[in-house]
Amino acid sequence: MESSRGPPRVKNKAPAPIQISAEQLLREAVDRQETIIHKPTQRFADLEELKEYQGRKRREFEDYIRRNRLRLQNWFQYAQWELEQKEFARARSIFERALDVHPNNTQLWIRYIEAELKNRNINHARNLLDRAVTRLPRVSKLWYKYVYVMEMLGDIPGTRQVFDRWMKWEPDEDAWNAYIKLEKRYGEYERARQIFAAYTQVHPEPRTWLKWAKFEEEFGTADMVRDVFQSAIQYIAETLGDDAVDERLFIAFARFETRQKEYERARAIYKFGLDNLPRSRSMQLHAQYTTFEKQFGDKEGVEDVVLTKRRRLYEEQVKENPKNYDVWFDFARLEEMGGDPDRVREVYERAIAQVPPTQEKRHWRRYIFLFLFYAIWEEKDAKNIERARAIYDTCLNLIPHKKFTFAKVWIAKAHFEIRQGNLTAARKTLGRAIGMCPKDKLFREYIAIEQKLYEFDRCRTLYEKHALFNPANCQTWIRWAELERGLDDLDRTRAIFEVAISQPVLDMPEVVWKAYIDFEEEEGEYERARALYERLLQKADHPKVWISYAQFEINIPDTETEAQAAEGEEIPVSEAAKARARGVFERALKSMKERDLKAERVALLRAWLEFERTHGAAEDVERIRRQMPREVKKKRRIDEDTWEEYVDYVFPADEQQTKNLSNLLAMAKQWKEKTGGGIMGLGAGGS
């Protein structure tokens, strides 16, 4: 049976008396490491024994190769052993046999070549290098080995020939740089220029041109450097496209000119680069230009840098979204700050060419301001009046007036003509606007112009047309009445007010009534005003009307108060006026109570209480205060599961009336119980 006991437990858990650290273990391992046993050197007694040994080793190597001829290590070991035996012919034979198996193996070629070089077989090494680069022309390591050997042998013309053969295969940039360094080492700068010319044709990247420019700055002249930069920009733009032009070319070119103290040339290069490169690929160029202007420019130059940066930003934004009119506003304002009229006109013309895609007014609201700003700039800054007039006309012809119009454009054109002293053209403009697309704003502006010119007959005609166009506009009636009142034609003023309040639809009828009442009150026609209040109450029984009516009654002066006013004393409120005002409040409360309008009753009582505090006695104030209700919070059902809390008003008069009614009902009940069934029961019992 298997034991059911678990793993053995450690009974003594105390630390060992001698502690051994990991560092001690490693140190002892190193100290006790046995000395490496070298293989003993084999000694041969005579040549025959040596030949026997060599034959045995060769058979072993041949067996290895026969078993696995694809394993390079077998060939390397075999060839290395033959080299150690000074059997160079046999070693070459092994390498050649290996090349038959692995003709494209770079490592094999390198080992073969290094073996020949090590044993000073230079011609063999050259032949091998020539064979290697012919066999593998795309392997840079073989070419580097070839040119290195040729240069170490002092054969510089041969080295050039090798480089020329190599360059025909258009290798990477490091190979070209190595060729150029060779010519620089031996002072052949003209040859280096020719190499750079071919180099930039094969690798036309900006960095190759920059290397050439740096070479010319070190070994050539300033004109040569300029020719390199100009050729670089032109060649890259023509062959690779404008997108391939790098800001580094412009920065290096401008820095070179700065070092030559040709500041105007450098500034022109910066500006050319910023004008031809998009903002996303010229951030560093702009930063360098800013630094340049701060060092060598003036205030105008620094401002020009800022304008250039913002101009390029706006160009990119309008390119992304040509219908972004806010960007066009900023762009045009920027050019106006620059002060170049041609640039300003160009921006405005490009902006107004972006006509909204649909005939919806919301798409045209911002677009219209482009024309307005353009025309104002032509008039105020450019002083070109005819161009400004043409801009206004173009805008008005472009707007689809049958669907919508913009009164601000018509009004701006009219004011423009007035500023030019052409009043007839202004009237024709506004008349055309009213005829094509009448709007309240157009009527108001036309009337305001004629009123300033004191052409009141024209104003009356325009008011009549405006009232016919929009009879619901209260402000039209009020302004018309004010005009007639200003001309002291009170009968016409009253007639206008009567027509106004008789309109079936008004946008703010209370405003017209208030203006009519104020007119009669200011003219001293208090009976007419009182009659208007009574007419208004028949249409609008509202607390505000009652309160205004009461205030009107207080402000009506009596004969005594008028005499006091004539003597220069402060006019007190007469008792008759107070009585009339209280009568108005009483009527109002009665009306609201009959219709059970509690909130309106509260508003009236508060106004009446304020009136009594100002004009009444203490007992009058107390009498109104006793009528003030108390607030009671109640709940009412909205739906089956929802209740809401609201404030209700309990008036003392209503509460007393309810209490009296409850007492009366209680007495009736007691009397019924006492008599045993009411009047009919009494009659039956008596019979």
- Is 444 annotated to bind a ligand? Reply is yes
Nearest C-alpha neighbor of 98 from the set 77, 119, 116, 129: 77
Three-state SS for 41?
Answer: coil
Cβ-contact 628, 609 below 8 angstroms? yes
- Kindly state the tokens that stand for 430: 């506004």
Q: Which helix (H) or strand (E) holds 324?
A: none
Cβ-contact 640, 652 below 8 angstroms? no
- The string of DSSP letters for 130-180 reads HHHHHH-TT-HHHHHHHHHHHHHTT-HHHHHHHHHHHHTT---HHHHHHHH
For helices 361-380 and 341-352, angle between their N-to-C axes, nearest 10 degrees: 160
The letter for the amino acid at 35 is T
Question: What size, in residues, is the chain?
Answer: 687
How far is Cα 315 from Cα 327, in angstroms, rounded to an integer? 9
How far is Cα 454 from Cα 344, in angstroms, rounded to an integer? 40
Cβ-contact 64, 57 below 8 angstroms? no
- Is 539 annotated to bind a ligand? Reply is no
How far is Cα 636 from Cα 459, in angstroms, rounded to an integer? 58
- Is 408 annotated to bind a ligand? Reply is yes
Q: Extract long-range pairs of 284-293: CB within 8 Å, 24+ residues apart.
A: 284/247, 284/248, 284/251, 285/247, 285/250, 285/251, 286/312, 288/251, 288/254, 288/255, 289/254, 292/254, 292/258, 292/266, 292/267, 293/267
Residue 601 makes CB contacts below 8 A (sequence gap 6+) with 589, 592, 593, 629, 649, 651
Cβ-contact 54, 81 below 8 angstroms? no
Identify any residues that bridge with 648 across adjacent strands, giving them in sequence order: 632
- The string of DSSP letters for 534-587 reads HHHHHH---HHHHHHHHHHHHH---HHHHHHHHTTPPPPPPHHHHHHHHHHHHH
How far is Cα 372 from Cα 358, in angstroms, rounded to an integer? 20
- Kindly state the tokens that stand for 86: 């000074």
- Kindly state the tokens that stand for 303: 């401002």
- Kindly state the tokens that stand for 365: 């609201």
- Kindly state the tokens that stand for 280: 């996303």
The letter for the amino acid at 538 is Q
* Strands (E) located in 223-305: none
- Is 407 annotated to bind a ligand? Reply is yes
Q: How many CA atoms lie within 13 A of 194 on its CB side?
A: 8
How far is Cα 588 from Cα 601, in angstroms, rounded to an integer? 8
Residue 313 makes CB contacts below 8 A (sequence gap 6+) with 279
Nearest C-alpha neighbor of 166 from the set 148, 179, 151, 150: 179
Question: How far is Cα of residue 145 from the mean position of the Cα atoms in its chain?
Answer: 59
Q: What DSSP character marks residue 128?
A: H
Q: Which residues are annotated as a binding site?
A: 407-408, 439, 441, 444
Q: Which residues are annotated as a binding site for 1D-myo-inositol hexakisphosphate?
A: 407-408, 439, 441, 444
